[in-house]
């Protein structure tokens, strides 16, 4: 213990100038993040606007600074190479490890975590969200620290460390590209998304660090790190992409089902850039029993068309089709809340011209697996549609910045701020008349995120706007000054509510049964 403290003090003497810069940086970052909290738009304060827009302050710079401290700290007594002074001195490796770990936890983890905690509390984050947020931040940050320490212990100079970082950055995406695991897995979302990739990376880094300090077999440590990271990446992808979780809250006993509303209805010739001509086979699909407050996204479709004799045509389509309209649940009975769409055309297959010519008219059995993501909407509150009105719920803040009428045109701008991945939606409605400007055209805008001090938890800034010509509006009711006088903004939070898949089968499926022209003719007749 005495030697560990001795080394710790020595490292502090060596690195205090860097620590001063790091802490000053964290201090300024904290000040920027907590200045002007009453306004959801950080650009309303000139100096923070300048600092943020200049790109001087960001998590990236903090990470680089932290990585530099780590490299200098570890390379004070590098466990690789043969020329380090400490290698031939009576320094117990356990003491050395303890000194380095203590330094990292005290100055590189505890200080930024405390500053981050302060920022979160200033934002008004609810007590029950602080624990999970902190855990999320620390797990992400410790992975970053772990990888940096692992690379630092395998190198003995800053240049070698930078090269190792670049190599890792190349290696990890390569691993992700060539190694994929497509085995479905039923795990709670937080385990799949955070715990598995974080733990795997952490364990790999810990093994490398301990192995290198205890054995100083650098080649073997590098092998462990490379193999570990390559295997961790697809594991993380696997966990993230195929994990499902129970639908929450319960959909009331109803099971969301996938219904094939029609036989495949069209064959659309599709020519994309730098792609071979393909026949696009589409079908109309619908989801039934989607809860009123939910929205379900079809995120991918895996298909196979099996022909008699063993031939098959496979296809995977990453697409987004949205089912359901949460307004029906948020504002039940209001006029303007659109009803769920009857059908949505989904790409079922794609075939090259050559394949299509040979197999297009032959019957087969079509099997499809649809991956679906559910979102639920919960009302956070409402505020009058008047300039300067605020709504503050916990750490989230919404402000109506400006409402102006110019002749018949209505302009509304709003700003909002939310924390920790909270997704906000905005709807303008009139409570007395029970009318709402529908979700499709209501309020559009953009949002941008900025990380706080540690990674993992971000603050989102929203800029929302609405432009509406009141004389020629798309609604079945009149929007005028009187309507606006009683108008309010409904703020809803959208959150992930689970993933699931549905399978379906179509017998006697022929790709060529309906051409694009025929499908268009049928549509015209219907209309």
Partner 1 sequence: MNPALSFENLSQRYGRLEALHELNLTVPRGSLYALLGPNGAGKTTAIHVLMNLLAPSEGSAAALGVDSTRLGPAELAQIGYVSENQKLPGWMTVEQLLAFCKPLYRTWDDDLCRKLMRGFDLAPERKVKSLSRGMKLKAAMVTALAFHPRLLILDEPFSGLDVVVRDELVRGMLELADQDEWTLFISSHDLEEIENLVDRVGFLNEGKLLLSEELDQLRARLCEVEVTLPTDAHIPDEWPAAWLFPQASRNVIRFTDSDYNEGASAALVARIFPEATDSSVTPLSLRSIFITLARQSAGAAAKEV
**Which residue in the block uniquely carries the two structure tokens 């393909």?**
278
Alpha carbons 385 and 426: distance in angstroms, whole number: 11
| Whether 343 contacts 285, CB under 8 Å | yes
Nearest residue (CB) to partner 1, 77 versus 420: 77
- In the complex, what is the shortest distance from the CB of residue 85 to partner 1, in angstroms, rounded to a whole number? 6
Q: What is the DSSP letter of 390?
A: E
- In the complex, what is the shortest distance from the CB of residue 6 to partner 1, in angstroms, rounded to a whole number? 5
- In the complex, what is the shortest distance from the CB of residue 156 to partner 1, in angstroms, rounded to a whole number? 9
- In the complex, what is the shortest distance from the CB of residue 214 to partner 1, in angstroms, rounded to a whole number? 12
Q: Which residues bind partner 1 (CB under 8 A)?
A: 2-3, 6, 10, 13-14, 76, 82-85, 87-92, 217
- In the complex, what is the shortest distance from the CB of residue 216 to partner 1, in angstroms, rounded to a whole number? 8
Q: If we measure between CA atoms, which residue out of 499, 239, 194 comes closest to residue 375?
A: 499
- In the complex, what is the shortest distance from the CB of residue 99 to partner 1, in angstroms, rounded to a whole number? 12
**Which residue in the block uniquely carries the two structure tokens 């950080």?**
42
Peptide bond into 38 cis (omega under 30): no
Angstrom CA distances, 163 to 166, 206, 414, stand at: 5, 21, 46
Nearest residue (CB) to partner 1, 7 versus 62: 7
Q: If we measure between CA atoms, which residue out of 195, 186, 185, 60 comes closest to residue 132?
A: 195
- In the complex, what is the shortest distance from the CB of residue 23 to partner 1, in angstroms, rounded to a whole number? 20
Alpha carbons 114 and 266: distance in angstroms, whole number: 59
Nearest residue (CB) to partner 1, 88 versus 128: 88
What residue ranges in 174-293 does DSSP mark as E strands? Answer: 185-186, 243-244, 257-260, 266-270, 278-288
- In the complex, what is the shortest distance from the CB of residue 443 to partner 1, in angstroms, rounded to a whole number? 58
Alpha carbons 171 and 178: distance in angstroms, whole number: 11
Alpha carbons 364 and 360: distance in angstroms, whole number: 10
Alpha carbons 182 and 497: distance in angstroms, whole number: 22
Helices (H), 301-359: 327-330, 353-359
Nearest residue (CB) to partner 1, 88 versus 339: 88
Beta bridge mates, 281: 267, 349
Q: If we measure between CA atoms, which residue out of 197, 295, 287 comes closest to residue 497?
A: 295
Nearest residue (CB) to partner 1, 4 versus 414: 4
Nearest residue (CB) to partner 1, 91 versus 231: 91
Nearest residue (CB) to partner 1, 82 versus 407: 82
DSSP 241-259: HHEE---SS--TT---EEE
Nearest residue (CB) to partner 1, 210 versus 383: 210
- In the complex, what is the shortest distance from the CB of residue 81 to partner 1, in angstroms, rounded to a whole number? 9
Alpha carbons 458 and 129: distance in angstroms, whole number: 13
Measured between its terminal Cα atoms, the distance across the chain in Å is 84
- In the complex, what is the shortest distance from the CB of residue 103 to partner 1, in angstroms, rounded to a whole number? 16
Nearest residue (CB) to partner 1, 96 versus 204: 96
Q: If we measure between CA atoms, which residue out of 156, 153, 73 comes closest to residue 108?
A: 73
Nearest residue (CB) to partner 1, 9 versus 386: 9
């Amino acid at each position: 213990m005495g030697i560990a403290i001795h080394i710790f003090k020595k490292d502090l003497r060596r690195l205090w100038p860097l620590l001063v810069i790091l802490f000053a940086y964290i201090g300024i970052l904290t000040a920027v993040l907590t200045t002007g909290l009453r306004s959801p738009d950080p650009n309303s304060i000139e100096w923070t606007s300048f600092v943020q827009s200049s790109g001087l302050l960001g998590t990236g710079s903090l990470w680089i600074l932290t990585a530099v401290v780590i490299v200098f700290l570890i390379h004070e007594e590098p466990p690789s190479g043969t020329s380090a002074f400490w290698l031939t001195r009576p320094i117990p490796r356990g003491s050395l490890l303890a000194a380095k770990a203590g330094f990292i936890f005290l100055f590189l983890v505890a200080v930024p975590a405390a500053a981050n905690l302060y920022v979160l509390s200033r934002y008004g984050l609810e007590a029950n969200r602080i624990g999970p947020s902190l855990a999320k931040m620390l797990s992400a940050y410790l992975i970053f620290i772990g990888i940096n320490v692992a690379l630092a212990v395998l190198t003995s100079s800053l240049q070698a460390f930078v090269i190792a970082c670049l190599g890792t950055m190349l290696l990890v995406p390569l691993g992700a590209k060539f190694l994929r695991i497509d085995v479905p897995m039923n795990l709670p979302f937080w385990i799949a998304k955070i715990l598995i990739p974080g733990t795997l990376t952490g364990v790999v880094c810990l093994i490398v660090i301990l192995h290198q300090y205890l054995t100083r077999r650098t080649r073997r440590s590098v092998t462990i790190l490379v193999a570990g990271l390559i295997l961790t990446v697809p594991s993380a992808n696997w966990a993230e992409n195929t994990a499902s979780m129970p639908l929450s809250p319960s959909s009331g006993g109803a099971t969301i089902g996938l219904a094939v509303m029609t036989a495949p209805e069209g064959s659309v010739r599709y020519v994309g850039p730098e792609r071979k001509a393909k026949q696009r086979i589409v079908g109309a699909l619908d989801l039934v029993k989607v809860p009123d407050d939910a929205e379900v996204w079809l995120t991918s479709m895996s298909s196979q068309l099996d022909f008699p004799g063993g031939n098959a045509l496979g296809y995977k389509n990453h697409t987004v089709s949205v089912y359901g309209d949460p307004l029906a649940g948020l504002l039940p009975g209001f006029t303007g809340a659109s009803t769920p769409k009857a059908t949505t055309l989904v790409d079922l297959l794609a075939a090259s011209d050559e394949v299509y010519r040979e197999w297009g008219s032959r019957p087969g059995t079509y099997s499809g697996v649809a991956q679906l993501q559910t979102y639920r909407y919960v009302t956070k509150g409402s505020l009058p549609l008047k300039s300067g009105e605020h709504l503050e719920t916990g750490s989230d803040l919404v402000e109506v910045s400006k409402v102006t009428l110019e002749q018949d045109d209505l302009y509304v701008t709003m700003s909002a701020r939310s924390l920790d991945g909270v997704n906000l939606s905005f709807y303008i409605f009139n409570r007395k008349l029970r009318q709402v400007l529908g979700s499709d055209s209501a309020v559009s805008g953009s949002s941008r995120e900025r990380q706080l001090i540690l990674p993992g938890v971000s603050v989102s800034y929203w800029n929302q706007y609405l432009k509406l010509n009141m004389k020629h509006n798309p609604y079945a009711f009149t929007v005028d000054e009187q309507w606006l006088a009683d108008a309010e903004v409904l703020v809803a939070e959208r959150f992930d509510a689970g993933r699931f898949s549905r399978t379906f089968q179509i017998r006697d499926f022929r790709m060529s049964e309906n051409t694009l022209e025929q499908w268009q003719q049928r549509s015209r007749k219907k209309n």
